[in-house]
Amino acid sequence: MARADLWTRDQLLLALRLYMRVPFGRLHRLNPEIIQLADRLGRTPSALSMKACNFANLDPALQARGIHGLSNLSNADRGIWNEFAANPEAFAAEAEDAAARLAGAEVAPADVGYEIQIPIGETEVERIVRARRVQSFFRAAVLTTYESKCALTGIAAPELLTASHIIPWSESVERRADPRNGICMNALFDRAFDRGLIAFDENLRVIVSGRLRNNMTGVRLPCSLDAIDGVELKAPNRFPPDPEAIRYHRERVYRE
């Protein structure tokens, strides 16, 4: 006989989505965001916060820092985490779809950080909706990972921050929602990174392209672009940049 208190798939999706969007220290029953979501899910805030905290036991970055969640992991918890790890893009699309259904909305929030170019085709509308939802998930997860601060400058104004893809959006569908394929940067550095004008070495220190340095002569306000060379990226709390993605960007996107 099925247990009445078993978590549904949508509830598990939304619990892991919550984990991605909320700093670990705020995953408690008094958090208004948890109270509101728990009410909509028909769960208590304590149950939802404990479920979200369970995922810390599956998060390698938190484990490496000696941070552990609660000990009552279920097979369902492990299963949903493994689905996310295996295909973040598919997980993000499904989780955001569940969030949209719960909110009675047709699309996810439009604040994705930048415009996404979607090819025209038979399923253009569906692809636009999916892309927006995936990017919304990615942005929230990356900004949370970096405490909503630029990893190079410490700027903490969300309006100026972008979740930068290391392996570009267009180059890998599977990595589009992977927080380890993201870095939180201010809009200027994001643009330079996206255009291959800066990259990171194996130690996550900035490499500045000669194309950029050569265009700094006579600039009235260099905006730190002249001083960023060699600056080390601030390590995030969770989901550190994947070294293979960093290498891919340096070898395939960066232009000396």
| Model pLDDT for residues 52-63, shown as the tens digit of each residue | 999 988 988 888
Residues 142, 160 within the same domain: yes
Instruction: Give the SS3 label for residue 145.
Output: helix
Residues 193, 85 within the same domain: no
- Within a domain: 116: yes
Residues 81, 143 within the same domain: no
Residues 106, 175 within the same domain: no
pLDDT in tens, 152-187: 999 999 999 999 999 999 999 999 999 999 999 999
Nearest residue to 12 (alpha-carbon basis) of 92, 80, 88: 80
- Within a domain: 1: no
Quote the domain boundaries for residue 112: 9-128
Give the total number of structural domains in the chain.
2
- The last residue of one of the domains, among 128, 153, 184, is 128
- Per DSSP, helices labelled H in 25-123 are 32-41, 45-54, 60-64, 75-86, 88-103
Which pTM was predicted?
0.86
- The last residue of one of the domains, among 100, 128, 156, is 128
Whether residue 87 contacts residue 19, with contact meaning beta carbons closer than 8 Å, is answered with no
Residues 138, 105 within the same domain: no
- Within a domain: 28: yes
Please indicate whether residue 139 or residue 228 has the higher confidence score (pLDDT): 139
- The last residue of one of the domains, among 65, 93, 128, is 128
pLDDT in tens, 72-126: 788 999 999 999 999 999 999 999 999 999 988 544 444 444 444 545 554 777 8
Question: Which DSSP helix (H) or strand (E) runs through 15?
Answer: helix 9-21
Q: Which residue has the tokens 């304590």?
A: 46
- Within a domain: 2: no
